[in-house]
Amino acid sequence: MKLISWIILRLLGWQTIGSLPPEIKKCVIVAAPHTSNHDFYLARAACYTMNIRVKYLIKKDWMFFPMGLFFEATGGLAVDREKSSNFVNNIVELFNRSTELKILVSPEGTRKTVKKWRTGFYYFALGANVPIVLSYLDYKKKTACIGPVIYPTGDFQRDMQPVFEFYKNITPKNPHNYHLQIT
């Protein structure tokens, strides 16, 4: 998959920058902005080329046969939006049971325009005592980036300041669908 992913990214003119520190075995990777279906295959290709083995959250509706086989094989974890109770606790437990786990999360939760990001990614990391790694796809520069590592302290507002700074100049596929607001 690494070679195929590298070829796809090069043919499309994309490059990867940054890397995940090797000592990080568990983390939540924020994948933002998320405004297009193209984000999926580009982000997965970037992870493969950077040797980052990830799981990712995907709407349960996509896990039908035969698509579900593909998504599961590439790391998909089904999310049932209708039954969201205890979801954060379930992800924290998954981290606690794992010796190595990196979960890619899109805080928007959808490709459509949203007024604010969902905050589950923060509480996954805080509850599991794992870092948050910021990443993006910048369509203007055609770069897939793994950026800074944030260790959540429980002070949500203070912890999110570097997040705002990191994402403020990123160009998504559909800029009209992107609003950087975390509340």
Distance (Å, whole) CA 46 – CA 40 = 10
Which one, of 9, 11, 52, lies nearest residue 143 by Cα?
9
Which one, of 36, 48, 37, lies nearest residue 8 by Cα?
48
Average pLDDT of 122-138? 97
Instruction: Enumerate the domain spans of the chain.
Output: 2-177
Tokens read off for 12: 């499309």
- Assess contact for 125 and 132: CB atoms under 8 A: yes
Instruction: State yes or no: pLDDT of 151 exceeds 90.
Output: yes
Q: What is the pLDDT of residues 88-127, one digit of tens each?
A: 999 999 999 999 999 999 887 555 666 778 888 999 999 9
Place of tokens 């939540």: 28
Question: Between these two residues, 178 and 159, which has the higher pLDDT value?
Answer: 159
Which pTM was predicted?
0.88
Distance (Å, whole) CA 175 – CA 86 = 32
Which one, of 168, 43, 173, 15, lies nearest residue 102 by Cα?
43
Lowest mean pLDDT among 4-8, 82-86, 104-108: 82-86
